[in-house]
Amino acid sequence: MQKLHPLSSKKVERRVIRQLMEAVLFEGLMDYEKTAARPDDPLLNFTIFGYHRTYCCEGRIAAFDRVRLKEGSIRSVHHDGLWAETNIKELAEDLAPDPEKRSLLIRELEQTIQLSEWNETHLMPSLSRRTFSYEELESEVWEGHPYHPSFKARTGFTLGDHAAFGPEARQSFTLQWAAVRRELSQIALLEDEKSFWEREIGPSMLGKLLAELHESGKTFEEYTLLPIHPWQVQNAKAELDKGDIVLLKNSGDSYRATQSVRTLWNVTNPEKAHLKLSMNMVNTSSLRTLDTHAICAAPHISKWISDTVKGDPFLKEEASLIVLKEYAGIAYQPQEEETRCKLGANWRESIRLYMEDGEEAVPFTALPLMERDGSPFIDDWLKRYGTENWLKRLIEVSVVPVWHLLAAHGIAVEAHAQNMILLHKNGWPTRVALRDFHDSMEYHYDFLADPSQVPDFASIHEQFKKGRNDQYYWMSSIEALRELVMDTLFVFHLSELSFVLEEQYGYSERKFWALTGEEIADHLSCYPELIFRNYLLQPAAPMIYAESLVKRKIRKEEPGGFRHLVTNSLANDQKEN
């Protein structure tokens, strides 16, 4: 990573520190005390006790115990007893006793600051993003993860890489095509391979690549094709130097990065597949390579969920739920013992294939954002339809189908904001699209409505044969399914919207989550056969588990994993069925 230059503004650093301290309090990473700032005022004074120093800040406890702090209010006490605005290194020292983990945390936070400052300095922000297309919004959502403090870590990215491949820079680029030895590859297709390539890249492009392959003395019988992110070419040299990969010269369509950086949309033809490519990069919580077994499972999982939706009258007809299928995958995996591949790809359907006349699409990540004109992204919609009417409709088309899939069929999906797309007509929600199932869906065998439809994972990849409960897709309890859905859809996703509606429009979070509970209950009342199954899920349990995203980066795993209990905001207002 290149050396950081002094920052001209503390704006981004204050945001990073705020989100880090919010996570500290939310995940219980330091002991703290809280007192009311004033009688009958939700504002609290927090006193936090670290290993080396004490901190204070102001904020409040919001839905699902999410902590919302006032930016710039975080202070630390120095040896002379004076309070001063805290900094990243102080916090990291108190959070991570292990020097290696502390150093890594500091690097990721500093990288987040550097890339965010570069955006502010070099890119022309739009006053309003409300009229942008779905693909443009994927680049224009600059803000990054609203909870995780390493929201633009992108380890290994230089500023030049960020300018070339970061979604915010809006740059198009072509892929590096390669031929990889079949015996060292895993190919996940539900159709003939030649037909797949002809459809995906066209007969002309396929012919050029095969001609190059032939000129190098190789054959299609020995080698298959694989697209590689151009950044990854420089960061997977060990794999490329083994002689089992032939880099080809023809490049084909142009692509641009989406919010996730490694998933790319096709600029040449937006109706063509989005490509998720393996990258040796840590962003927020994860290394962004791909699991080989997940690449292989993706088409089978997508077909399972899609077939389930098609066979359910509510999901197919009333909700018109869209499943963006990951219908193909290829991984270069030279070593049996490795589970993650540095060179691999998933093909996922474009939302453009499903949009009807008059429909527009927006990433759910855009809904709670503030525009530079001072109003929320959804301000015009709320004024046109009324806050509660619009919100009720949003819950009907987004929350209810996800919960129905769980309660009726026993399939839990990781419905966080990047995994959901809202379709609407003039701002009125019409339906929702779900995506990214290859490593983010779960089931409990005894809770499945139709166990016969579960893919035979043991035959899909060798890795699954030795899989334990709670390691891959099959969970040991129903509670794990509830945890996945409520954690991603409620705790870390819609809680951002509920907070903005209270802050900007005075629509209380309590009302938001009461309405959510009512909509789920009203839906279930139409399906008496689901009442008991929903009871087993315990959606109104007083306390539920949330993932400890920051703890994962700085502490060793303990029994029970990286999770902690939080107050369930549905419990106060929803009676269990």
- Residue-averaged pLDDT of the chain: 92
Percent share of the chain, pLDDT over 90 = 81
Q: Where does the pLDDT of residue 82 fall: very low under 50, low under 70, confident under 90, or very high at 90 and above?
A: confident
Longest dimension (CA), the chain: 80
What pLDDT does residue 506 have? 97
Which of 110, 47, 62 is CA-nearest to residue 513?
Answer: 62
Judge whether 572 and 124 are in contact, CB under 8 Å.
no
Mean pLDDT, residues 274-303 taken together: 89
CA 308 to chain centre: 23
Q: Where does the pLDDT of residue 577 fall: very low under 50, low under 70, confident under 90, or very high at 90 and above?
A: very low
Q: Report pLDDT digits (tens) over 345-373.
A: 999 999 999 999 999 999 999 999 999 99
DSSP 51-104: SS-EEEEEEEE-GGG-EEEPTT--EEE-TTS-EEE--HHHHHHHH--SHHHHHH
Residues 258, 141: Cα–Cα separation, whole Å: 9
**CB neighbour burial string for 304-338, b if at least 16 within 10 angstroms, e if fewer:** bbbebbeebebbeebbbbbbbbbbbbbbbbbeeee
Tell me the two tokens of residue 210. Answer: 């095969």
Residues 75, 56: Cα–Cα separation, whole Å: 5
Residues 382, 390: Cα–Cα separation, whole Å: 6
Q: Is the pLDDT of residue 336 over 80?
A: no
Tell me the two tokens of residue 161. Answer: 């890489």
Instruction: Classify residue 185 as exposed, middle or buried by CB count within 10 Å of its CB (0-12, 13-18, 19+).
Output: buried
What pLDDT does residue 282 have? 78
Residue 132 has phi, psi (to 5 degrees) of -75, 150
Residue 175 has phi, psi (to 5 degrees) of -95, 160
Domains of the chain are 11-122 (3.30.310.280), 310-323+356-567 (1.10.510.40)
Looking at residue 243, the DSSP 8-state letter turns out to be: S
Q: Is the pLDDT of residue 340 over 90?
A: no
Q: Report pLDDT digits (tens) over 415-444.
A: 999 999 999 999 999 999 999 998 889 999
What pLDDT does residue 440 have? 85
Residues 13, 150: Cα–Cα separation, whole Å: 11
Mean pLDDT lowest among 151-165, 230-244, 270-284, 314-328 = 230-244
What pLDDT does residue 116 have? 93
What pLDDT does residue 339 have? 67
Q: Is the pLDDT of residue 574 over 60?
A: no
What pLDDT does residue 240 have? 77
What pLDDT does residue 337 have? 52
Q: Is the pLDDT of residue 320 over 60?
A: yes
Within 406-446, strands assigned E span: 411-413, 420-425, 428-434, 441-443
Residue type, 194: K
Q: Is the pLDDT of residue 300 over 70?
A: yes
Structure-token match 């704006």, residue found: 11
Q: Residues near 174 by Cβ (< 8 Å), separated by ≥ 6? A: 230, 251, 252, 253, 254, 255
Q: Where does the pLDDT of residue 5 fall: very low under 50, low under 70, confident under 90, or very high at 90 and above?
A: very low
Residue type, 308: T
**CB neighbour burial string for 40-55, b if at least 16 within 10 angstroms, e if fewer:** eeeebebebebeebeb
Q: Report pLDDT digits (tens) over 159-200.
A: 999 999 999 999 999 999 999 999 999 999 989 999 999 999
Judge whether 214 and 294 are in contact, CB under 8 Å.
no
What pLDDT does residue 156 have? 86
Judge whether 284 and 145 are in contact, CB under 8 Å.
yes
Which of 271, 278, 215 is CA-nearest to residue 247?
Answer: 215
CA 505 to chain centre: 27
What pLDDT does residue 237 have? 78
Number of Cβ within a 10 Å radius of residue 388: 14
Residues 72, 13: Cα–Cα separation, whole Å: 10
pTM of the model: 0.94
Q: Is the pLDDT of residue 7 over 50?
A: no
Which of 179, 177, 175, 178 is CA-nearest to residue 220?
Answer: 179
Q: Residues near 143 by Cβ (< 8 Å), separated by ≥ 6? A: 151, 365, 369
Residues 477, 491: Cα–Cα separation, whole Å: 20
Q: Residues near 461 by Cβ (< 8 Å), separated by ≥ 6? A: 186, 292, 293, 296, 297
What pLDDT does residue 3 have? 39
508 versus 72: the higher-pLDDT residue is 508
Residues 258, 273: Cα–Cα separation, whole Å: 13
Q: Where does the pLDDT of residue 79 fall: very low under 50, low under 70, confident under 90, or very high at 90 and above?
A: low
Mean pLDDT lowest among 46-60, 333-347, 514-528 = 333-347
Instruction: Classify residue 367 as exposed, middle or buried by CB count within 10 Å of its CB (0-12, 13-18, 19+).
Output: buried
Mean pLDDT, residues 238-266 taken together: 90
What pLDDT does residue 55 have? 95
What pLDDT does residue 284 have? 72
Residues 244, 258: Cα–Cα separation, whole Å: 30
